[in-house]
Structure 1
Amino acid sequence: MSPADRVPVSLIVDERLRTTSICLGVAYGSRHDSVNQGGLAHVLEHLLMSAPAANGEPLVQFIERLGGSANAETGLEHMLFYAQVDAQDADVVVESMLSGVLAPELDPVVLESERAAVIQELAAAAADPADVVQDAFLAALFPGHPLGRPVGGTVEEVRALGLEAVGEGHRSAFSTSPMALAVVGPSIPRGLSGRQAAPSGATRTRGPVPLGPVRVTTPAWPDEFGWVAVGGRSTRLGDPARHRFTVLANLFGGHASSLLYRKLRVEAGIAYSFESWDRGYTEAGAWRVLIGVDSGNGGQAVDIVIRELEGLAATGPSDADLDAARRQARMSLILDTETPLEHARSLALHAVRSPEPWNLQSELDRIAAVEKRDIQQAAAEVLSDLITVVRPERP
């Protein structure tokens, strides 16, 4: 049996489509890098997409030469490899993706090339305060914890990674992690017909790491435009009640129906770009609002966020605001399922992260069931661990 034969599959057949979307999810991310090998998962992601595929050329080039698109991402607790291709090319692309990612030919020349690309990627991220502030936010939210380390590692760590270390990471950590393949297209690709369906969910192979307290600091506001992240811990991945944080995020989102849009943009007129979201991980989640602020506006923007959180914790949202936030959260899920590539990504990611089977209607029902008292509880939990991080900082 080949490694690919052991990967469970979720298949969504929609005969109206002319493309096939493919996503391989792996329950392995940057938090699983050892302390002295930060960035290994991210480098491995680059290497696998650039290693020779079944036909001898790099996987990403092979797929895009067919007219398709291909990419990959590394998160704190997952990796995704995905492609969208003409349906007539799905057979060969599925085969090449699985063989290239699961049984790669790792090459030192390719490693050097991709290491250089990763270092350039880190340099670009370091030059963008909107990226830097998010790493700093997680570092303050989860200090001294694997969740608080930057996904890409540091330049020094990346430079120190050799082919042996990356190959061992693939063999001992990546290849032994729960995986799932999701395919959305007009027909079932050859070789997947009759394959085992994706199980009810992943069985985690790594236990939680105890969390310490958050690190609260006083922002050093810059004399220029910057980005501020305000937020706190939410509940862990798998908590059946964590949808309250999704709805809370929509109350603070950048869409015109949100509570924060009225307070921050319309009434105060101090922010144009802002968004809010929540992510769940093994030990806890991270809920935040990200705001672009001009010089002199940062403190006022944060005060507005805190004041609105305090109001929600005390009395909850109005019926109209709660209804709008639930509708926005539900529509986001619906749009993902009606976009084939996003649907495949969502299916694969959920299969390797959750012990529960994913069902759109169940998710919609859980969001619709979020009530005022749930928002009060979520706001109070965020306030209990509230941190504020700004980048750039005043020297």
Structure 2
Amino acid sequence: MPELTVETDAGALVRRSVLPGGIRVLTEAMPGQRSVTVGAWVAVGSRDETDGHHGSTHFLEHLLFKGTPSRDAMAIASAFDAVGGEANAATGKEHTCYFARVLDADLPMAGEVILDMVTSATLDPEEFDAEREVILEEIAMNEDDPGDVAHERFATQVFGSHALGRPIGGTPETIRAVPRDAVYEHYRRTYRPSELVVTAAGNVDHDALCAQVLDGVRTGGWPLDAQAAPAPRRQVVDSTAGAGFATGPSTRVLHRTTEQANVLLGGLGLPAGDDRRFVLAVLNAILGGSMSSRLFQEIREKRGLAYAVFSFSSGFADAGMFGLYAGCAPNKVEQVLELLADQWLLLATNPVEIDELQRGIGQVCGQLVLGLEDTGSRMSRLGRTEISTGELLTVTETLDRVRAVTPEQIRDLAAELHAQPRHLTVVGPFTEHAADGAARFEKGVPHA
């Protein structure tokens, strides 16, 4: 059982073991905690779906809570409710996670139930049809939120025909069309030992959890080849080499009967493993990550043009996304877009002052440390790191990299992002024919 042990901060200890079948188990023992968060991850997300299976990954997230041969949906829910625990799941573009937060004494129960769900879901046909309707309602709910619509359409513009541009939950058309057999095939093809990563943080015994994982997987009937290696991480490819990403700028205007316009401007960002991700974190803090950021000060504080305004980024194995958002009155869209574009260009052409740099660094460092105060965030950090890069940095190492960011690095990265084809998404009370007008909204940005 190959193992890695790393002593992290404040006496916490991270251990990683590779079990038969290529299963990986990572734990972070946190002194003084009375709770544990445990998660079962598979490195399978919406981007891994093939034709005829679109929406299957998110469908499985729902269906795994519907029952196994040994417990039905009520038994799964009651197991966690009876101990005051919380259980949930999340589907991403590159992974799916089933997790629970419980008292340390209840970890054996939580681990048993989650492993039973992951290895032995029945995907009952009647439950399948009922859950299809639930997912359609979830999609409808998201479509009623103009902010969600704007972000979803923006991702589609940025990533083009690439699988990263597909909605995680599928579309009403794909959910209505996908048959139970296709989802079951997707489950059997992608949920296997070499893809399984189990992480836990809190008052957890690593050896005991490893033994429980092996027992749970064997009970579920998964084959465990002692010589099997973990599934390799995704291959990082050049995101500009014709992989389906959008190659030119675009503008999209979507009509919604709203009192406010939702505006998104941006393009491709950095992959999750890029060494400059620490520079991007500070850049984001300075541009639109706080109340003292440039976007907040210029658009909200000085001019009162928006309540919500910020910048954001997300990273995947071979690409990322970077954008600026504002919610404003429909008749203020042109002015707001000019300010968004101007502030981005200013950051791309002039190094930031030292005091602004230090404020941005301080914000990133503080949020990092505060964000890791609970067992759930620590569990998630272990899982995401193992699946994406495998580079598990201590908090101190991460803080050192953030503190090493320079004004020139921020300017150069902002300029690189600014040079990418830019995409504009506007959702609000406009007609679809407003695209020509929207092209005039943004100062100095070419449009296709």
2:65 equivalent to 1:49: yes
2:387 equivalent to 1:371: no
Alignment map for 1:294-313 (pairs within 5 Å): 294-313=329-348
* Distance in 2 between residues matched to 1:150 and 1:214, nearest whole Å: 21
Aligned pair in 2 of structure 1 residues 177, 27: CA closer, same or farther (>3 Å)?
A: farther
Aligned pair in 2 of structure 1 residues 101, 194: CA closer, same or farther (>3 Å)?
A: closer
Runs of 4+ in structure 1 deviating by more than 6 angstroms, as ranges, are: 205-208, 220-223
Which residue matches 1:260? 295
* Distance in 2 between residues matched to 1:393 and 1:176, nearest whole Å: 49
1:204 CA drift (Å): 2.3
Name the SS for the 2:40 alignment partner.
strand
Deviation digits for residues 118-144 of structure 1, max 9, x if unmatched?
A: 111000001100100011101110111
2:178 to 161, 172, 179: 161
1:89 CA drift (Å): 1.0
Which residue matches 1:98? 115
Query: What TM-score do you get using the length of structure 2 for normalisation?
Result: 0.80
- The answer to which of 58-67 and 153-162 deviates more is 58-67
* Distance in 2 between residues matched to 1:245 and 1:317, nearest whole Å: 14
1:62 to 51, 54, 79: 79
2:219 equivalent to 1:203: no
Unaligned 5+ segments in structure 2 are 1-18, 214-228, 432-448
* Distance in 1 between residues matched to 2:99 and 2:36, nearest whole Å: 11
- The answer to which of 11-20 and 217-226 deviates more is 217-226
2:91 to 74, 86, 91: 74
* Distance in 1 between residues matched to 2:78 and 2:180, nearest whole Å: 22
Which residue matches 1:25? 41
1:329 CA drift (Å): 1.5
The 8 Å contact of residues 158 and 246 in structure 2, kept in 1 or not, is answered as: no
Which residue matches 2:250? 216
1:344 to 379, 401, 405: 379
Which residue matches 2:369? 334
The letter for the 2-side match of 1:281 is F
1:306 CA drift (Å): 1.1
The letter for the 2-side match of 1:258 is S
The 8 Å contact of residues 236 and 284 in structure 1, kept in 2 or not, is answered as: yes
The 8 Å contact of residues 15 and 187 in structure 1, kept in 2 or not, is answered as: no
Percent identity reads 27
2:249 equivalent to 1:232: no
- The answer to which of 379-388 and 4-13 deviates more is 4-13
The 8 Å contact of residues 259 and 321 in structure 1, kept in 2 or not, is answered as: no
The letter for the 1-side match of 2:35 is T
Name the SS for the 1:9 alignment partner.
strand
* Distance in 1 between residues matched to 2:158 and 2:307, nearest whole Å: 25
The 8 Å contact of residues 296 and 310 in structure 2, kept in 1 or not, is answered as: no
Name the SS for the 1:141 alignment partner.
helix
The letter for the 1-side match of 2:250 is V
Deviation digits for residues 59-99 of structure 1, max 9, x if unmatched?
A: 34432343111111111111121111122111111121012
* Distance in 1 between residues matched to 2:235 and 2:253, nearest whole Å: 38
Which residue matches 1:142? 159
1:41 CA drift (Å): 0.7
Aligned pair in 2 of structure 1 residues 195, 247: CA closer, same or farther (>3 Å)?
A: farther
Which residue matches 1:394? 430
1:106 CA drift (Å): 2.1
The 8 Å contact of residues 132 and 391 in structure 1, kept in 2 or not, is answered as: yes
The letter for the 2-side match of 1:184 is A
Aligned pair in 2 of structure 1 residues 46, 128: CA closer, same or farther (>3 Å)?
A: same
Aligned pair in 2 of structure 1 residues 4, 288: CA closer, same or farther (>3 Å)?
A: farther
The 8 Å contact of residues 236 and 318 in structure 2, kept in 1 or not, is answered as: no
1:187 CA drift (Å): 3.2
Which residue matches 1:279? 314
The letter for the 2-side match of 1:204 is R
The 8 Å contact of residues 247 and 367 in structure 1, kept in 2 or not, is answered as: yes
Name the SS for the 1:80 alignment partner.
strand
* Distance in 2 between residues matched to 1:178 and 1:5, nearest whole Å: 9
Which residue matches 1:9? 25
The 8 Å contact of residues 29 and 77 in structure 1, kept in 2 or not, is answered as: yes
1:362 to 392, 397, 406: 397
1:285 CA drift (Å): 0.6
The letter for the 1-side match of 2:155 is L
The 8 Å contact of residues 202 and 351 in structure 1, kept in 2 or not, is answered as: no
* Distance in 2 between residues matched to 1:220 and 1:166, nearest whole Å: 31
* Distance in 2 between residues matched to 1:351 and 1:194, nearest whole Å: 20
Name the SS for the 1:192 alignment partner.
helix
- The answer to which of 32-41 and 139-148 deviates more is 32-41
1:37 CA drift (Å): 2.6
Unaligned 5+ segments in structure 1 are none
